[in-house]
Amino acid sequence: MLLLSLPALAGPIYYKGGITRGHTKNRAVSFVFTGGYHGEGAEYILDVLKEKKVRGSFFLTGNYLRNSSHKAGILRMVKEGHYVGAHSDNHPKYVKSFSSTGTLISQRAFVADLDKNFAELAKFGIKKSDAPFFIPPYEAYNQTIVKWAKEYGLTLFNYTPGTRTNGDYTDPSMSHYYSSAQIMSFIRAEALRENGLNGHLMLIHLGVGPKRTDKFYHQLGPLIEELRAKNYQIVSVPELLSGK
């Protein structure tokens, strides 16, 4: 993978030991695409990334990787040079809530689940050494999970709060539903803050199922153009967090 040359700056921002943002002086963002079960947007997303010449970062569960309907898209991710990494095998819950300190999984079960995830990734030619960054299922974790991930050889990270792109899974029946227009307005509002979107990790789901017809990934092309117009580089997760 071709790495863009980003300024060498002091490291990323952490929360509970996990990385939640690249350096705020670095005018770059990353798109983090996760696949747990649904994947109806994968081909559309890949087409946009190819057209716009953007490297994405895809994090897939074993469940997603085993689904034969996703195979063509996964092969494209690899062939077209995107970063592909782990998102757990069976999408287990590690903690009770985002603010919880209690752990719902044993280290043995944590390791076994990731082993299965990487066994599925290996079928697509992706070794553990190729994918050192890991986003946890439900994007929820605590310091214990971060420690276990490090012992396993992975660097745990999460999306950057503020833009609400991670809310693209919500549907109108939910009290916390966010339309695509609302998410775009949150992104623009975040861009007006002191450090703008510098170092942001924007999470977008590869699919959200039929209950939501307003698919946020359809805004990906316009969003890329808007970011570029504001002089943001769009880079992969390893590029953003390493500064290389």
Asked if residue 162 belongs to a domain, the reply is yes
- pTM (2 d.p.): 0.93
* Domain count of the fold of the chain: 1
Asked if residue 229 belongs to a domain, the reply is yes
The CATH number for 55's domain is 3.20.20.370
Q: Of 4 and 138, which is predicted with more confidence?
A: 138
Q: What is the gyration radius of the CA atoms in the chain, in angstroms?
A: 17
How large a percentage of the chain has pLDDT more than 90?
91
Q: What's the confidence (pLDDT) of residue 208?
A: 96
Q: What's the confidence (pLDDT) of residue 96?
A: 85
CA 244 vs CA 8, 45, 119, 198, 239: distances in Å: 7, 25, 29, 15, 6
State how far the Cα of 165 lies from the Cα of 182, in Å rounded to an integer: 10
Q: What is the pLDDT of residues 162-172, one digit of tens each?
A: 999 999 999 99
Domain of 26, in residue numbers: 13-242
Q: Give residue 190's pLDDT band: very low, low, confident or very high (50, 70, 90).
A: very high
Beta-strand relationship, 57-60 and 233-234: unpaired
Asked if residue 2 belongs to a domain, the reply is no
Asked if residue 182 belongs to a domain, the reply is yes
